[in-house]
Chains A and B, each alone.
Chain A
Amino acid sequence: MNEQLEEQASLYVLGLLEPEENRAFEAQLANDADLRKHVDALRESAANLAHTAPLRYPPAYLEGKILDAIRAERPVAAPASSLSWLPWALAACLAIACVVLAAERPKIRQEIARLEKRDVFAQMKIATLASQLESAPRASAIVVWDAEKQEGVLKLTNVPVNDANRDYQLWIVDPEYKQPVDAGAFHVSEEGTTKISFKPKARVNSATAFAVSLERKGGVAKAEGPMVLLGK
């Protein structure tokens, strides 16, 4: 295979060909089995690039939302002519299920534990917050937010120590509210790493970003001070 064709194949799998080039290439593809094989192999390699994205779990509720959406797409099945057999069939299934459950209980328990563990991570959002301060460029934070429990943990690193009359305040941006939601004021009295648990003052359904500002002691209802950290 010549270099030009290889190049076209690479650009094709990444969707980089212009519409005209794309049409011409697809016409060639339809008549060339070797080229199709080459394109398929390149596509497999390109798809693997998806693995290089930082891992981010979809929220737990999305699965249910998507299942609802596909149900709406589903053609309606024709009703059965008679359902008189149904109670008997259900009873038979239940009897079989009891036998299977008794034999498989340890395995099922393990599976439930695994699913519970997975769901714990699925409902969490993890955000990295970067410094907005020229005077402290190394300041950073990680937020782990559990949307279901409505609580989270903020881990701060290299954030400047507060003056006695100042606190930092965490804010959660949720498009449902005009103003960021107050997630509490806290004091940093030591250099290094500080870990804080927080709960927002109002329910947060969609945490799209997190921010930390510098405020007066005890915190404020609406952010006034300079932004210290920001991330999503």
Chain B
Amino acid sequence: MMRRLVGGDEGAFASFYRRFAPGLFSMIYQILQDQKESEDVMQEAFVQMWKKAATYDAARSGLFTWAVMISRNKAIDRLRSRQRRSRAVEAAAAELAVVPPESAKHADSALGQAEERDRVRAALSKLPGAQKEAIDLAFFGGMTQLEISDKLGAPLGTVKARIRRGLLALREFLDPAAS
């Protein structure tokens, strides 16, 4: 698919969009908590992917990972620029506990992504709460190390250690063979 994208194949880009749009939009919205801004950021991210398709290195990352990192960077930049970090994080934390309604679950399943979501959620649930919280704040909240430390009331060294242990454990749960 990436070869076709690099070659400027618009059909390949449309397939790429349909495959990843729901997952990426969910993440962007979780970071920004704003429909209009999420749509703008989604557009910026996909345009960048289109322009930078030639820089994708399949040996170093999966396509989804590449798309997530570009989209997340855009969303975090937007979040920082409007400086309403804490409000979005609190809303994000609250929404993490919300079970999607039946229709959304059905649609999710129809797109074949439910299994992957379940697998990641199960892996994440195995992490100690403090590690999960620190990683959530970094990934979705776009906070700096110091801000996470303030928010959690934990020393900076502890926050760094929680993130390190949490990510390593997540890697082990998701891909035991690679660890």
List the interface of chain A (C-beta within 8 A of B): 3, 6-7, 10-11, 13-16, 36, 40-59, 62-63, 65-67, 69-71, 73-75, 114, 117-118, 121, 124-126, 128, 142, 144, 175, 206-208, 232
CB of B90 within 8 Å of the partner chain: no
Q: How far is the CB of A147 from chain B (nearest CB, A)?
A: 11
Indicate whether B82 reaches chain A with its CB closer than 8 angstroms.
Answer: no
What is the minimal beta-carbon distance from B5 to any residue of chain A, in angstroms?
10
CA distance A117 to B106 in the complex (A): 10
Pick from A3, A63, A71, A73: contact of B164, CB below 8 A.
A3
Closest to A232 in B: B35
CB of A54 within 8 A of CB of B96, answer yes
A51 and B145 contacting across the interface, CB-CB below 8 Å: no
CB distance from B24 to the nearest CB of A (A): 7
A16 touches B145 (CB 8 A): yes
Q: Which of B90-142 contact A (CB under 8 A)?
A: 95-96, 98, 100-101, 103-104, 107-108, 110-111, 113, 116-117, 120-121, 123-124, 135-136, 138-140, 142
- The reply to whether A58 and B163 form a contact with Cβ atoms under 8 Å apart is no
Which chain A residues lie closer than 8 Å to B164 at the CB level? Answer: 3, 6-7, 10-11
Residues of A within 8 A of B83 (CB): none
Residue of B nearest to A63 (CB): B17
In the complex with contacts A40-B60, A42-B167, A175-B36, A49-B135 CB distance below 8 A:
yes
CB-defined contacts of B6 to chain A, threshold 8 Å? none
Q: In the complex, A206→B14 CA distance in Å?
A: 23
Secondary structure at the A interface, as helix, strand, loop or mixed, is helix
Which residue numbers of B lie inside 8 Å of A, CB to CB?
Answer: 8, 10, 13-14, 17-18, 21-27, 29-30, 33-36, 38-39, 42-43, 46-47, 50-51, 60-62, 64-65, 68-69, 72-73, 76, 95-96, 98, 100-101, 103-104, 107-108, 110-111, 113, 116-117, 120-121, 123-124, 135-136, 138-140, 142, 144-145, 160-161, 163-164, 167-168, 170-171, 174-175, 178
CB pair B47–A69 under 8 Å, yes or no, is yes
Q: Taking CB as reference atom, which chain A residue is nearest B148? A: A16
User: Chain B nearest CB: distance from A221 CB in Å?
Assistant: 26
A151 to B88, CA, bound (A): 28
- Contact: B167 with A51, CB < 8 Å? no
Q: Give the shortest distance, in Å, between B63 (CB) and chain A (any CB).
A: 10
How far, in angstroms, from A35 to B107 measured CA to CA in the complex?
Answer: 39
A56 proximity list for chain B (CB < 8 A): 22, 25-26, 29-30
Q: Is the interface of B mostly helix, strand, loop or mixed?
A: helix
CB pair B62–A44 under 8 Å, yes or no, is yes
Establish whether residues A50 and B23, one from each chain, have CB atoms under 8 Å apart when the complex forms: yes
- Of the listed residues A43, A53, A62, the one surrounded by the most CB atoms of chain B closer than 10 A to its CB is A53
30 A-B contacts (beta carbon < 8 Å) = A7-B160, A7-B164, A14-B163, A15-B76, A16-B144, A40-B60, A41-B171, A41-B178, A43-B65, A43-B69, A44-B61, A44-B174, A49-B135, A50-B24, A50-B64, A51-B117, A52-B120, A53-B30, A54-B95, A54-B100, A55-B117, A58-B39, A69-B47, A70-B13, A73-B51, A124-B103, A126-B104, A128-B98, A144-B101, A207-B35
A13, B167: Cβ atoms closer than 8 Å: yes
Q: Which of A69, A125, A175 contacts B43 (CB 8 A)?
A: A69
Cβ–Cβ < 8 Å partners of A3 in chain B:
164
Do residues B174 and A48 form an inter-chain contact, with CB atoms below 8 A? yes
A50 touching B72 in the complex, CB below 8 Å, given contacts A6-B164, A57-B25: yes
Chain B nearest Cβ from A159, distance in angstroms: 17
| CA A71 to CA B47, docked complex, whole Å | 10
Q: Return the chain B residue nearest A6 by Cβ.
A: B164
B171: contacting residue among A42, A55, A126, CB under 8 A: A42
Given contacts A55-B26, A55-B100, A56-B22, 16 further A-B contacts (CB under 8 A): A3-B164, A13-B167, A40-B61, A44-B174, A50-B68, A53-B27, A53-B30, A54-B26, A55-B107, A57-B25, A63-B17, A70-B47, A118-B110, A121-B103, A121-B110, A128-B95
